[in-house]
Chain A
Amino acid sequence: MAGVLILSPFVVAIGAAWLVSRYPQRAGMLAVWPLAIAAFFGRELGGVVARGPRHVELPWAPSLGLSLAFNLDGLGLLFATLIAGIGGLIVLYASRYLAGHRQAARFYAWLFAFMGAMLGVALSDNVLTLFVFWELTGFTSFLLIGFDHERAEARSAALQALIVTGAGGLALLGAGLLLVDVSGTASLSAMAAQRSTIVASPFYPAIAVLVLLAAFTKSAQVPFHFWLPNAMAAPTPVSAYLHSATMVKAGVYLVARMTPALGSTAIWTSAVTAAGAVTMLVGAYRAVQETDLKRILAYSTLSALGVLMLLLGVGTREAIVAALVYLVAHACYKGALFLVAGILDHETGSRDITALAGLRRSMPITAFAGGAAAVSMAGVPLTLGFVGKDGAYDALQHAAAWFPWPLVLIVVASILLGLAGSLAGVLPFWGAAAPTHDVHDPGWPLWAPPVVLAIGGLAAGVAPSLLDGVVGAAASAAAGVPIDAGLRLWHGVTPALLLSGLTLAAITLGYRLRDTLRTRTWKAGYGTEEVYEGALALLNALSRTLAPALHSASLRTYVFVIVAWTVLIGGTVLLTDIGPSAAALHTSVAFHDVFIVAVIIGGAVSATFAQSTMTAVLSLGAVGYGVATVFLGFGAPDLAMTQFSVETLTVLIYVLVFRHFRGMGAISPGFVRIRDGLTAGAVGLFIGALVLSVATTETAPRLREYFAELGPTLGHGRNIVNVILVDFRGFDTLAEITVLATAAIGVRALLGLAGPDRSRQDAVDPATSPVFRTAARLLMPLLLMFAVFLLLRGHNEPGGGFVGGLVAAAAFALYSLAFGVQRARQALLVHPLTLLGAGLLIALVSGLPAVLQGRPFLTAVWPSGPIALGTPVVFDLGVFLVVAGVVLMMIFSLAEET
């Protein structure tokens, strides 16, 4: 149940695209599903508080030992509830915000896919599925950031986010593989128990660095922070969802999740604390310098992520509890503020805080949501923001060894953050008279979500004990030991409370001095974004230089390079490793062998230097017949028959095509021909030596004996080659006839490209000789009978579907030469394509009886009965039909080509 619910957003994504494209007005209904999932997760969370974590598994690929394992513990479920719950509010909001957008359907599909990926990240217990979901969040967020893909700014922001977080994803994969190797398990919950092994491993520093790289890129920690403010190019609902409430917290989640297995070491603690502290300050400082609502909020989000990292880095019980409270508080107030910013943008057309003022009278509901969120962000008592910040102050004060520098820094950051919240949530509504144009509160789907979030933050602040069990369960999972959160409204007069008072006073002062703070403060000219862009530009320049040198777009260059390297490397191996084999040549030479080989070599030489296409084709035919004769002489009658039939048909096809080409004179200058001749000669030498070396090496006869022994017994056939084709390697053969069918359809399509379906006509005049016509008429039924005979005996004697199909095709090809293609088509009764399709279908169906018996597809089934008719024989009939259909389709369409 839980597993299915976790994956359900992926299914809903498809349904959402359909629903919204059909009924754009009904998009808001989609909010019901995430809210229902959130309710389910909330209930599960209650269960965890009462009974402890739960583990669920969905089978995935049991044969590989893979399953989709989910761990429903406090940490994961807290995230999952936030993801689904806020997701539902965002969908409701978007249904109005994006109403009438022509690509709204796509938006919902991506948003739900993102939600599914995020739930997967939060609840996966397998480190590899965690990676898959992690990358899916990056991929879907790429699509969402670039949703307005007609704007270059959106495209480049999307790409930047993808590259930065994608690189982190690769680091996570590396860490995951190392972790599996070191701990011997892919389960995250089992890894926690292996902590001592992991930390003692020589790979531990690499694992820690890779995990933190993934977390820091995803959660936009300095120096990877620059992508987050740029991601504000996304539509506001996306910013509110991905870039405040959920996705950017995936990195924080990862650090919390891995702390039991990897944490509390010097490298882990110092890296997480330092990155968090720097990000916290940089983000807060930049936030108060901005005038764009969304950028203010983006930088303040950076800062909040830094706070969370800092607290996790400090890692005491109090710090972890404070981090989780802070996380919930932030999700509520920041989500609300983003949504308020979206409303302001939507209603007034501006997001500039210097242009917006006095809107509280015209949009009181929005003003309430903004104000309530800002109050929580500032940490005014009786809000959840206060509980989180107070807890953070308290934890950092107690964690300090000698001087509480993190405490000092967090107070500074909190002052700036509170100020940023007031700039975004209070300033636009306060102050002088309203602007002249008519502005009012939007419809309820727009104001309800921020109001719900803001009220949530207030309510939980009044009664923090409501969150006691939940936060306790989550903190226990993150710390690896049971923790009682002990959230209380009133702790007495503590140093933290005094610092909170100081913070609020400073925020009030800062609010008065806001313009000075914004304009008179130092702004960095360069940052890590420039480093990123420089590196990217360097890479692009490098590939622009390299690509033309490597990619010449000339087939002959590629052939030359491939061949030259093969000969060079292969030849070296042949000469050094194996050496020219001195083993005896097993087989004696008969007189007629010399003659056959002379025909092959003569044909090859003649084809190479032919001056007319006809000479070349006939020489090639001679080569083919020569090779077929070799097959015949050395115990391969099946090959010989197939090769003879193929050669005949090939010559026919060559002649049909080559009537369109001119002569064959050389184009290349002499020295090129000499160079190519030397290359080709080297290839020839290499191949000759290779054949000799392999043919004279004794190989173990295991495979041959296996087939020879099992062919007659298991395979019910005396022709081992045919048994291999239709039974042992039946699946390969199925793929091969599929390739053939594809080639034939390709030929038909290529010829059809010439223009609209022209009336079928004979482009090649039929033969007029009465002798030929009479012979053809007599031969055709005989050939067809022979073809069926070959098919039927194939399992026990030389023959089979391949050669049978070729002979059947040859019968109709002969008929078409004598009487024209139209008569041949009539004689065939069905279209070659039908033949081909029927053949494929028969071959497929012949594999099903085994499936019905619960055995693998295409396993041979031989029902006991008077006639030995097993599924491989039926399969061979399919092969027969496909081959005949393929050849006839090609020959008929070529002959009709003018």
Chain B
Amino acid sequence: MELLLALASGVLYAAGIYLMLRRRLVQLIIGLGLLSNGTNLLIFTAGGLTRGRPPVLAEGTAVLQQPYADPVPQALVLTAIVIGFGLLAFSLVLAHRVHDTVGSDDVDDLGRDG
């Protein structure tokens, strides 16, 4: 399974980077979205996989039964998901504003003096 998820992370990164190297603003942002999904998957998988055992104690028990999924990468990824959402929304609106102002969605047009 690690192999499959490693493959998935790799593909997400490759697709994300490829899109970030494109000239269209839209593609840049889609690439950003793929990259943040890839990163979340990377952290999650790198932390070790445990199938179906959330780090939640059953009611009335005092100790978590082994094995259980590692809660540390989960806590990291959880905030990363929400922050990633904020980042994506902000860059989307920034791209939209740039597109409105410059009148082009080509990143290479931005540096030129309008």
**A600–B14 CA distance with the chains assembled, in angstroms:** 13
| Inter-subunit contact A798/B54 (CB<8 Å) | yes
**A323–B32 CA distance with the chains assembled, in angstroms:** 68
B30 partner residues in chain A, CB cutoff 8 A: 607, 610, 616-617, 620
Given contacts A554-B108, A639-B81, A691-B10, contact A703 B52 (CB under 8 A): no
| Inter-subunit contact A639/B90 (CB<8 Å) | no
**A120–B59 CA distance with the chains assembled, in angstroms:** 62
| Inter-subunit contact A585/B14 (CB<8 Å) | no
Q: With an 8 A cutoff between CB atoms, is B102 at the interface?
A: no
Question: A149-193: which have CB < 8 Å to B?
Answer: none
The interface centre, meaning the residue of A554, A636, A703 with most chain B CB atoms within 10 A of its CB, is A636
**A679–B85 CA distance with the chains assembled, in angstroms:** 26
**A806–B94 CA distance with the chains assembled, in angstroms:** 22
Which of A422-430, A680-688, A769-777, A843-851 lies at the interface?
Answer: A680-688
| Inter-subunit contact B93/A650 (CB<8 Å) | no
Question: B6-28: which have CB < 8 Å to A?
Answer: 6-28
**A696–B57 CA distance with the chains assembled, in angstroms:** 26
**A868–B89 CA distance with the chains assembled, in angstroms:** 37
Contact bitstring A562-590, B, C-beta under 8 A = 1, else 0: 01000000000000000000000111110
Give the distance to chain A from B71, nearest Cβ to Cβ, in Å.
4
Contact bitstring A622-664, B, C-beta under 8 A = 1, else 0: 0110110011011111110011001001100110011011101
Give the distance to chain A from B27, nearest Cβ to Cβ, in Å.
7
Contact of A620 among B3, B8, B34, B41 (CB under 8 A): B34
A560 partner residues in chain B, CB cutoff 8 A: 21
**A694–B34 CA distance with the chains assembled, in angstroms:** 21
B97 partner residues in chain A, CB cutoff 8 A: 750-751, 753-754
| Inter-subunit contact B82/A802 (CB<8 Å) | yes
Question: B72-97: which have CB < 8 Å to A?
Answer: 72, 74-75, 77-79, 81-90, 92-97
| Inter-subunit contact A664/B10 (CB<8 Å) | no
Contact of B92 among A616, A626, A657, A703 (CB under 8 A): A657
Shortest Cβ distance from B106 into A: residue = A667
| Inter-subunit contact A604/B12 (CB<8 Å) | yes
| Inter-subunit contact A683/B17 (CB<8 Å) | yes
The interface centre, meaning the residue of B11, B41, B49, B97 with most chain A CB atoms within 10 A of its CB, is B11
Contact bitstring A485-511, B, C-beta under 8 A = 1, else 0: 000000000000000000000000000
Shortest Cβ distance from A719 into B: residue = B56
**Interface range for B:** 35 or more
| Inter-subunit contact A586/B78 (CB<8 Å) | no
**A754–B100 CA distance with the chains assembled, in angstroms:** 9
Contact of A688 among B6, B55, B84, B96 (CB under 8 A): B6
The interface centre, meaning the residue of A626, A720, A806, A890 with most chain B CB atoms within 10 A of its CB, is A720
| Inter-subunit contact A633/B20 (CB<8 Å) | no
A605 partner residues in chain B, CB cutoff 8 A: 11, 15
**A601–B74 CA distance with the chains assembled, in angstroms:** 22
| Inter-subunit contact B13/A718 (CB<8 Å) | no
Shortest Cβ distance from A604 into B: residue = B15
- If over half of B's interface residues share one DSSP class (helix, strand or loop), that class is named, otherwise mixed; here it is helix
Residues of A in contact (CB 8 Å), total 113
| Inter-subunit contact B81/A646 (CB<8 Å) | yes
| Inter-subunit contact A699/B48 (CB<8 Å) | yes
A718 partner residues in chain B, CB cutoff 8 A: 56-59
Contact of A692 among B3, B16, B62, B95 (CB under 8 A): B3
| Inter-subunit contact A802/B89 (CB<8 Å) | no
| Inter-subunit contact B15/A627 (CB<8 Å) | no
A556 partner residues in chain B, CB cutoff 8 A: 20-23, 107
A683 partner residues in chain B, CB cutoff 8 A: 13-14, 17
B90 partner residues in chain A, CB cutoff 8 A: 743, 746-747
Given contacts A627-B41, A725-B75, contact A680 B86 (CB under 8 A): no
**A687–B38 CA distance with the chains assembled, in angstroms:** 9
Q: With an 8 A cutoff between CB atoms, is A408 at the interface?
A: no
| Inter-subunit contact A684/B74 (CB<8 Å) | no
**A689–B74 CA distance with the chains assembled, in angstroms:** 21
Which of A96-104, A350-358, A728-736 lies at the interface?
Answer: A728-736
Give the distance to chain B from A482, nearest Cβ to Cβ, in Å.
63
A636 partner residues in chain B, CB cutoff 8 A: 44, 54, 69, 74, 77
A547 partner residues in chain B, CB cutoff 8 A: none
| Inter-subunit contact B24/A601 (CB<8 Å) | no
Given contacts A608-B15, A688-B9, A708-B64, contact A664 B45 (CB under 8 A): no
A708 partner residues in chain B, CB cutoff 8 A: 55, 64, 68, 71
Q: Which 5 A-B pairs have the closest CB atoms?
A: A684-B14, A635-B69, A688-B10, A680-B18, A718-B57
Apart from A586-B48, A695-B6, what 12 extra A-B contacts exist at CB < 8 Å?
A: A553-B111, A634-B69, A635-B50, A636-B74, A646-B84, A662-B105, A687-B13, A695-B2, A712-B57, A721-B75, A750-B94, A897-B96
User: What are 24 inter-chain pairs, A to B, with CB distance below 8 A?
Assistant: A554-B107, A585-B3, A589-B4, A604-B11, A630-B41, A630-B44, A635-B55, A646-B82, A646-B85, A664-B24, A668-B23, A680-B15, A680-B21, A688-B10, A690-B42, A691-B10, A703-B72, A720-B55, A721-B56, A736-B79, A746-B90, A802-B79, A890-B93, A897-B96
Question: Chain A residues in contact with chain B, CB under 8 A?
Answer: 553-556, 559-560, 563, 585-589, 593-594, 597, 600-601, 604-605, 607-608, 610, 613, 616-617, 620, 623-624, 626-627, 630-631, 633-639, 642-643, 646, 649-650, 653-654, 657-658, 660-662, 664, 666-668, 676-677, 679-681, 683-692, 694-696, 699, 701, 703-704, 707-709, 711-712, 718-721, 724-725, 729, 732-733, 736, 739-740, 743-744, 746-747, 750-751, 753-754, 796-798, 802, 806, 883, 886-887, 890, 894, 897
